[in-house]
Amino acid sequence: MHFSRSATSAAGLALLLGSAPLSLLAAAASAVVAVPALNGATSAAAASNATSDVVPAPAVPVLMLASDWPSGEDPAGFLVSEKLDGVRALWDGQTLRFRSGLPIAAPGWFTAALPKAALDGELWLGRGRFDELSGIVRHAEPVDADWRAVRYMVFDLPGRPVPFGQRVQQLQAVVAQAQQPWLQVVAQQQVPNAVALQALLKQTVADGGEGLVLHRASALWSPGRSTTLLKFKPVADDDARVVAHLPGKGRNAGRLGALLLELPNGQRFALGSGFSDAQRANPPPVGSLVTYRYRDRTPKGLPRFASFLRVREGE
């Protein structure tokens, strides 16, 4: 079974949203909305007391993060899109940033053409090209010819006080006004039932995609891990921050035994499998973001049978 990847129609969104309060729509009618506050931003008072030689850590953008989709659940009320294997990028109206808060060294023509509205999305080259993309966006000095192939695939207007279905409509208008072929809205669609959703996942993966994202159409934007934004993949994975290197034993004596990782909620666990000999000799640095795969989670929310997948360098 194959589904159209065309964007959801306004009529379809209206059906999902039902009788959304008009006051919410009016509150977001302005073209530019205040950008969400940044976690860890240094206050003016603290900044004035700081010594001139201290370099502050980058402010971490406030992001909405996806939880795992419970297989077999009914997708009614959700908008479904392909999960793009790109680099998460948040535009705050002035600066394009990685999820870590570090600025992305994009060409001037790229950022100059972006709208003043805050955008959340993925820098993307295409299916199966993450490593190539990662190399492009990590350059301190952007290579113009490389960036001409990069698309900014946006999926949300962070902070706007209206349901997701309405944010999609507003996002389509913002992007259409920008008139840039490399700035595109991620297509959303409705899926009638769990069987059709499973078929769509199978087809997406067969076509080279990574998986699906489901976002409840009636949900308001909210920061952090969400139960209204979910990812559906054949093999579950997630990201965590490296906080320490744990020494190896036996054949791994003198090199990495495991990474001590911290989840966004502050929980920590040791990741000890999935590494090559070269990665154990030169492990991902403390502070870096890594992706790991896992089978399921413990009652406390920690991953079971986790294994290392890759470093998300620069993020």
In a domain, 105, yes or no: yes
Distance of CA 310 to the CA centre of its chain: 16
Is there a single domain that holds both residue 228 and residue 241? no
Is there a single domain that holds both residue 158 and residue 187? yes
Is there a single domain that holds both residue 191 and residue 305? no
Is there a single domain that holds both residue 218 and residue 262? no
Report the pLDDT value the prediction gives residue 312, as an integer from 0 to 100.
82
Segment 97-115, tens digit of pLDDT: 998 899 999 999 999 999 9
In a domain, 5, yes or no: no
Give the model's confidence band at 314: pLDDT under 50 very low, under 70 low, under 90 confident, else very high: low
Tally of domains within the chain: 2
What range does the domain containing 212 cover? 10-28+58-232
Segment 268-303, tens digit of pLDDT: 999 999 999 999 999 999 999 999 988 778 888 899
* Residue from 83, 233, 249, 300 carrying the catalytic annotation: 83
Segment 301-310, tens digit of pLDDT: 899 889 999 8
Round the average pLDDT of the chain to a whole number and report it. Answer: 83
CATH number, domain with residue 268: 2.40.50.140
In a domain, 41, yes or no: no
233 as an active site residue: the answer is no
Is there a single domain that holds both residue 76 and residue 149? yes
Is there a single domain that holds both residue 88 and residue 143? yes
Calpha distance 268→124 (Å, rounded): 30
Give the C-alpha distances (Å, rounded to integers) separating 135 from 66, 87, 143, 233. 25, 11, 10, 25
pLDDT: is 7 or 97 the higher one?
Answer: 97
In a domain, 94, yes or no: yes
Segment 56-108, tens digit of pLDDT: 444 567 889 999 898 789 999 999 999 999 999 999 999 999 988 999 999 99
In a domain, 288, yes or no: yes
Is there a single domain that holds both residue 81 and residue 154? yes
Calpha distance 285→245 (Å, rounded): 8
CATH number, domain with residue 65: 3.30.470.30
Report the pLDDT value the prediction gives residue 298, as an integer from 0 to 100.
87
201, 232, 263: which is the final residue of a domain?
A: 232
184, 205, 232: which is the final residue of a domain?
A: 232
pLDDT: is 302 or 9 the higher one?
Answer: 302
In a domain, 212, yes or no: yes
Integer Rg of the chain from CA: 20
183, 206, 232: which is the final residue of a domain?
A: 232
Calpha distance 107→143 (Å, rounded): 8
- Residues paired with 247 in a beta bridge: 256
Is there a single domain that holds both residue 270 and residue 175? no
The answer for residues whose C-beta is within 8 angstroms of residue 276's C-beta and 6 or more apart is none
Cβ burial, residue 200 (10 Å; 0-12/13-18/19+)? buried
The answer for residues whose C-beta is within 8 angstroms of residue 114's C-beta and 6 or more apart is 91, 96, 152, 178, 183
Is there a single domain that holds both residue 80 and residue 220? yes
Is there a single domain that holds both residue 194 and residue 274? no
Is there a single domain that holds both residue 132 and residue 271? no
In a domain, 3, yes or no: no
Is there a single domain that holds both residue 127 and residue 164? yes
Q: Is the dihedral of CA 88, 144, 38, 178 positive or negative?
A: negative
